[in-house]
Structure 1
Amino acid sequence: MPGASTVEPVRIISYNLRKHRAVHELDALVAAHDPDVLCLQEGDTASLPDTAGGLVLAHTTQQNRLGLAIYYRASAFNLVDMAAVSVKKSLHDRVLRPAHERLLGVRLRDIDAGRDLLIASLHAAPLTARNALRRDQIRAALSELSELGWGLPQLIVGDFNYPVFKERLSEHMRDVGYELVMSDQHTYTRYRVFRGFYDFAAASGFVVESVRTLPQGESDHLPILVTAHPQ
């Protein structure tokens, strides 16, 4: 993309594990695509491994059994800080299973570049919720994420659960200082009527070079590989 920095890019995989079913794929996924960071959704946080293909577990959410996790390459980054963000719950969350924490962020220091970055894994409310609630959740989560380091480059990846009216979401993200970038192919395949683009990247202080959809495993979501340059 035009305007990309000469700084080495950061490679991030985001993957919704479909209620932990695809966890056994992580080592092979990392080995095949060599990411710097791995962001997960719908992982059984009590059962996630300490490492995935050589990446080290930074942190997981604590209040949701099926929650979020982030792994990072310890030879390239130091873990500085982390935060799990609770947002307004949807009706689905209240009736079926509490999902307090829908964003997990880490502050990483690039060892070679000597600068800090914010990376986050996001899982917005399911399709039973209104788009307006998802937008509110995302806005609140991004505001909390900034507390880890105001003004630092930020890259949020994950399951935005927003297959329709994406233009409205893009406008909303631009209004709060982020550029939303969709994947090159559909990322959700389980139900024909709901198939579409679900897994995105949102960047502030990063130039996103590509969001590439990876081959499908056992999850109903396809992993995405985000390549981005901090500005």
Structure 2
Amino acid sequence: MTLRIVSYNLRKHAASGELTGIAEAYDVDVLCLQECDSDALPERLHHLVLADTTRANRLGLAVYVRDDRYEILHSQVFAVQKSLHDRVLAPANERLLAVHLRDRDNGEEILVGSFHAAPLTALNSLRRKQIAAAHDGMRSLAPDTPAVMVGDFNYPWFIRGLERHLTTSGYTLKRTTQPTYLRYKFFSGYFDFVTSTGFEIERVDVLPAGASDHRPIRLDAELAA
């Protein structure tokens, strides 16, 4: 089973007008969003249905699913450790939206999460704790189920240390082929990437830039043999 996922940080919903085109052009199975306006999202984007959104978060998360292929069994929002940024600009602690899906053809169950870590004003150590808490949340939703978590990790430096940390917890990190953050003329970085367990992911491609300061990322995740 191959699952095509696109993840996109919309920069406070600025890139929302691009979503239908992305869903159609890239034949997306699951679309994960960060920094969206949950109240302004449509119920459908071409062949995708809105599985769930955050509701109490200033910077919303959302997941769309190809519902003719996947049955949505359950979804849940998870809060993780707050950064100082979260405390000052609350509410912003709902940083994972996870959905539990079943393939309508073969009955395989999977987990997909849309994740948004604390900004660069926080320490990497806090983001590592947030990532670990998000993984624990996904495991609690459906233990021993293959899982893939995508989004804006805000972790452009010292990535090797994070990779080692994740390996000990059973997750694999996959970075993009190109930088994903483009806000400043002389600064770019690998902010958006993928963690997974029970999946094989050959590469994570970066899609053309739009209205956001992040570029969308696309991947094909195959269940591990």
**TM-score for both structures, normalised by structure 1:** 0.95
Return the match for 1:116 from 109, 116, 127.
109
- Whether 2:103 is the aligned partner of 1:101: answer no
- Whether 2:185 is the aligned partner of 1:164: answer no
Aligned residues of 1:45 and 1:65 also touching (Cα < 8 A): no
How far, CA to CA, are the matches of 1:175 and 1:226 in structure 2? 23
How far, CA to CA, are the matches of 2:101 and 2:187 in structure 1? 35
How far, CA to CA, are the matches of 2:88 and 2:62 in structure 1? 24
How far 1:67 moved relative to its partner? 1.0
- Whether 2:36 is the aligned partner of 1:43: answer yes
Return the match for 2:216 from 200, 214, 223.
223
- Whether 2:11 is the aligned partner of 1:18: answer yes
How far, CA to CA, are the matches of 1:10 and 1:189 in structure 2? 27
- Tell me the amino acid that sits aligned with residue 146 of structure 2: P
Aligned residues of 2:58 and 2:91 also touching (Cα < 8 A): no
**Residue aligning to 1:3:** none
How far 1:209 moved relative to its partner? 2.1
How far 1:97 moved relative to its partner? 2.9
Counting matched residue pairs gives 224
Secondary structure of 1:140's match?
A: helix
- Whether 2:63 is the aligned partner of 1:70: answer yes
- Tell me the amino acid that sits aligned with residue 12 of structure 1: I
- Tell me the amino acid that sits aligned with residue 62 of structure 1: R
Alpha-carbon displacement from aligned partner over 1:139-173 (angstroms, at most 9, x marks no partner) = 01110111111001000000000000010111111
Query: What stretches of structure 2 of length at least 5 have no aligned partner?
Result: none
Secondary structure of 1:120's match?
A: strand
Q: Which 4+ residue blocks in structure 1 deviate beyond 3 angstroms?
A: none
Q: How does 1:178-189 map to 2 (within 5 A)?
A: 178-189=171-182
How far, CA to CA, are the matches of 2:93 and 2:41 in structure 1? 19
Secondary structure of 1:59's match?
A: strand
Q: What is the CA RMSD across the aligned residues, in angstroms?
A: 1.0
Secondary structure of 1:136's match?
A: helix
- Tell me the amino acid that sits aligned with residue 20 of structure 2: D
Query: What stretches of structure 1 of length at least 5 have no aligned partner?
Result: 1-7
Aligned residues of 2:58 and 2:90 also touching (Cα < 8 A): no
